[in-house]
Amino acid sequence: DASHAVRDVVRRAAPHLRDGVLVVHAAKGLETDTLKRMSEVIREELPAPLGRRVAVLSGPSHAEEVCRKSPTTVVVAAEDHGVAQEAQDLFINAYFRVYTNPDVVGVELGGALKNIIALGAGLSDGLGYGDNAKAALITRGLAEIGRLGYRMGANPLTFAGLAGVGDLVVTCTSRHSRNWRAGYRLGQGASLEDVLAQMGMVVEGVRTTKAAYRLAKRYGVEMPITEQLYAVLFEGKPPKQAVEELMGRDRTHEWEWIVQVRDAAR
């Protein structure tokens, strides 16, 4: 999930790619400086004909389980359905089922933004708040992802699928998840610097929180969980205070953003 390295890797690989090659990425993040999705970054670094043959593979798929050939189901998205089908045929097998989806924006945002909510779920567990709180974070986190995704051009239905709720649930509930583990340590009182140093690997949700915070401001989208996590990660806010402020927000309707999407479609 080292999305920060994708541009450099593609730039170096581009001269060695033959015409007609299929380019499939599985990086679940956003470029922090430009706020661009990974397919946008890849297309900028590839010749135009290859840029039209870019697909994204995403969904609930811990590598540890895929390596053991545990049943896994994912989604591949491309603007050209033929490209998506080509990638589907390449990856699908008896234990790795692949669906296609035309919504590249939604699939990429679902894969990236779920890492933020996984940080929050781990933080909640680290504070000892239990399953009720984590279920609330997952559910309301999905609403945040849907709000921003819709404003950025995604199909809201994508977030009810594998790249949305599927990836969100597995990342927020599994100890395989680096983002959950990082959040858990933060909830137990460790500093972000200590957590990152001890893990010794990329925690994509930390970078993505910064990018999503900026995107929410750009698009005028309310993302309270993301905003509180940003304050914990980068402004020194105590995790317990962040949770208390989330619980103390003004009353609202659960389906508020869905109603907004419905009305906009009329």
β-bridge partners, 98 = 74
Is residue 28 annotated as part of the catalytic site, yes or no?
no
- Which residue in the list 36, 114, 134, 210 is annotated as catalytic? 114
Give the gyration radius of the chain's Cα atoms. Answer: 18
CB neighbourhood size of 169 (10 A): 16
* SS3 at position 95: coil
Strands (E), the chain: 23-25, 54-58, 72-77, 96-101
Sign of the alpha-carbon torsion through 67, 68, 69, 73: negative
Place of tokens 């990152």: 196
Contact, 209 vs 224, CB < 8 A?
no
Name the residues annotated as catalytic. 114
